[in-house]
Structure 1
Amino acid sequence: MAPGQQEQNQLHENESYSDWMSRLPPDKHNTVLWHLVIPGSHDSMSYDLDINSSIIEPALLKKYSRLRCVRSIMRRWAKTQEANIVEQLNAGARYFDLRIARKENDPDPDRLYFYHGLLTRTDVETALRTIKEWAEEHPREVLILSLSHFKGFGSNSGHLHNHLTNFIKNLFGSKLVPKPMRNEDMPTLQRCWDHKQNVIVSYDHREATSQPVFWFKIRYFYGDGMDTNKVEEILTRDLKVASQAYFYVCGLNLTLPENAGALKYILRWRSLASSIRHSLPKLLRWLQIQAARTPVNIVASDLVTEPNVVATIVSLNKTAVC
């Protein structure tokens, strides 16, 4: 590594990104948020997966839920984040991929969890309260919460969506940024600061998007594989057609095959995290090159608190194509 690069890496490691939005130069304050480059985390709550949970997906493994050894392997390979939600926020992540499910036969009919292969130990309402507390302490940092999937809602879907959306509205209240109805309402940092609003909620279900405070689904582009060359190839293609009129995500995440092909990765690597650490430097170098060619908006990563991930993404606000 060249000495200059080593010094830059050390600077990135030491610099705090807990309030990076408020420290952007003034010319970025009135930029529409989907023209900024924003770091985010993929499967944000997967650090909290419960070894005692049944396997939610993939379907191929659900029948082995009773075997703890299978659940243990599932947790090692579904855990895309190692830092908790506050640590991710403090590290500079501002977009959160929150996949929601209901636990089968839960005695509390309204209790919901997050999931990625397994359910989390922490329920949705507890995690959202934590995020709300952080948002209050950092009023000039705009958070984007992307709620999706809603596994296991079944015939009670309407009630559960109504319960969750009411909870979100009551919890965040006036901090919620409403969907823009006119061009002059487009979200910028300055507009959010002026209105004392700093939480955007994208809710991927028709039950919510008719309400002004819930934004539509945010499109997520990802490579759907473990081969970084193929991941880069797919993302390069997809970013060429990504809309600049709304939020979109470039996912720097690796994905195991949902078939026997997963075994070659499981046998080679101790966990998904070990494979990600090996791949992240290459993916970040690709991102820097790509951002000079095509616009980039939200960049979601596995292990988002790893050194240089947030620093690299935030720095693109100076160099990326708008």
Structure 2
Amino acid sequence: MAGVTETKNDPKNVLYPGNPDWMKNLSESLHTTPLNELAIPGSHDSFTFFLDKTSDVGPDTSQAIRDLVKVFGGMAKDVIFKWSQTQSLSFADQLKAGIRYFDFRIASKPGSEDTYFIHCLYGSKVEASLQEINGYLEEHPKEVVILDFNHFYGMNESMHKQFMAVILETFGAKICPQKDIKTLTLDMLWQNKFQVVVIYQDDVVKDFDQFWPASCIQSQYANTTDPAKMVQFFEKTHSENRPANTFQSYQGILTPDATYIISRFSGSLKNDLVAKACPVFVQWLKKKKRGNNGINICTMDFIEKENFIFEVLGMNK
């Protein structure tokens, strides 16, 4: 695909920036295609390029991992970091590479009024990262992002509403309010200068028309460490008709539990599981097509691997 370059050392790892304006450059025939029928590359736990190893262990962490930290302290946090980091590229670099769907886990932090990303360890402050994404959209007015806030920790209704106010203030008129998803085409979005679809997976969303509820997306997730089982799961779910008014997300990831991590104390997610998941997931995608019952959103860990973005965007040719 035009604009994609590759590393000399590993032709399966796409360099960035590669696809900074791919929505703008889509063929005119796709401008009236609903977003849930386009092939859209996304990143899993999009924010984990930064996790603070000096922070407390997060509220999303299992008791077994917490017990490890009590015994081994900083050494255990190094292990947690290696099994929690799923991305190496910043938001700006992910956007330049072509990522348009972002997967967020959010938490309050004791002693702070700010909201943070969380994946076993605390990440960066969310507000600054949203501003970074907004800055990219300002420079690329025909690109559209889907922001999926799907896990929350330590947040009451008041905190949710305060955080939602931050989202509204950051993106303003770029936010596309709830609509019939079949009207959500690039032409419609461009005409209204909408660039952000915010999915907010908490009951408080019922009070805000600007945010889309959890029911608007189906996320297919195998919850296994076996790549063969991951593909079997995808084949089963792919053959089932999905509701016409939802996004569909395939998460090409393998997920360890505490026992798996403890048994591989010196390993890492990237070397032990991502190395197995990515090539299998991309090979599976190569046999599929986008469309009403086809591929829509695809997410992966370390999205620069295996020509992932190239393969997903190739479905839109």
TM-score range, shorter chain: 0.7 to 0.9
Change (3 A) 1:220 1:59: farther
AA aligned to 2:62 is P
How far off its partner does 1:13 sit?
5.4
Does the 8 Å CA contact 1:13/1:308 hold for their aligned counterparts?
Answer: no
SS at match of 1:21: coil
Does the 8 Å CA contact 2:45/2:86 hold for their aligned counterparts?
Answer: yes
Change (3 A) 1:86 1:14: closer
How far apart in 2 are the matches of 1:165 and 1:312? 34
AA aligned to 2:192 is H
**Number of paired residues?**
300
Change (3 A) 1:102 1:65: farther
Q: Which runs of 5 or more structure 1 residues have no equivalent in the other structure? A: 1-5
1:207 to 190, 204, 209: 204
Q: Tell me if 1:272 matches 2:269.
A: yes
User: What is aligned with 1:83?
Assistant: 89
User: What is aligned with 1:179?
Assistant: 178
Change (3 A) 1:182 1:289: closer
AA aligned to 1:58 is S
Does the 8 Å CA contact 2:20/2:96 hold for their aligned counterparts?
Answer: yes
Question: Structure 2 length normalisation: TM-score?
Answer: 0.88
Question: Structure 1 length normalisation: TM-score?
Answer: 0.86
How far apart in 2 are the matches of 1:115 and 1:11? 27
Change (3 A) 1:266 1:315: farther
User: What is aligned with 1:63?
Assistant: 67
Q: Deviations over 1:3-30 (max 9, x none)?
A: xxx99x6896588211111111111100
Does the 8 Å CA contact 1:239/1:250 hold for their aligned counterparts?
Answer: no
AA aligned to 1:139 is P
Change (3 A) 1:20 1:181: closer
How far apart in 2 are the matches of 1:174 and 1:72? 41
User: What is aligned with 1:28?
Assistant: 30
Change (3 A) 1:307 1:289: closer
User: What is aligned with 1:127?
Assistant: 129
Does the 8 Å CA contact 2:34/2:181 hold for their aligned counterparts?
Answer: no
1:193 to 183, 190, 205: 190
Does the 8 Å CA contact 2:13/2:306 hold for their aligned counterparts?
Answer: no
1:286 to 277, 284, 287: 284
Q: Which moved more, 1:39-48 or 1:271-280?
A: 271-280
Q: Which runs of 5 or more structure 2 residues have no equivalent in the other structure? A: 1-6
User: What is aligned with 1:3?
Assistant: none
Does the 8 Å CA contact 1:251/1:299 hold for their aligned counterparts?
Answer: yes
SS at match of 1:174: helix
How far apart in 2 are the matches of 1:298 and 1:188? 15
User: What is aligned with 1:54?
Assistant: 56
How far apart in 1 are the matches of 2:180 and 2:280? 40
Does the 8 Å CA contact 1:225/1:257 hold for their aligned counterparts?
Answer: no
User: What is aligned with 2:143?
Assistant: 141
AA aligned to 2:252 is L
Question: Sequence identity of aligned pairs in percent?
Answer: 28
User: What is aligned with 1:96?
Assistant: 102
How far off its partner does 1:291 sit?
3.5
Does the 8 Å CA contact 1:80/1:302 hold for their aligned counterparts?
Answer: yes
1:165-176 alignment runs, 5 A limit: 165-176=164-175
Q: Deviations over 1:281-321 (max 9, x none)?
A: 22201112244895111001111123511111111123xxx
Hey, which of these two has a bigger chunk of helix by percent? 1
2:114 to 106, 111, 115: 111
Change (3 A) 1:234 1:11: closer
What root-mean-square deviation, in Å, do the aligned CA atoms of Structure 1 and Structure 2 show? 2.4
User: What is aligned with 1:315?
Assistant: 314
Change (3 A) 1:60 1:14: closer
How far apart in 2 are the matches of 1:271 and 1:286? 24
1:74 to 63, 77, 80: 80
How far off its partner does 1:248 sit?
1.8
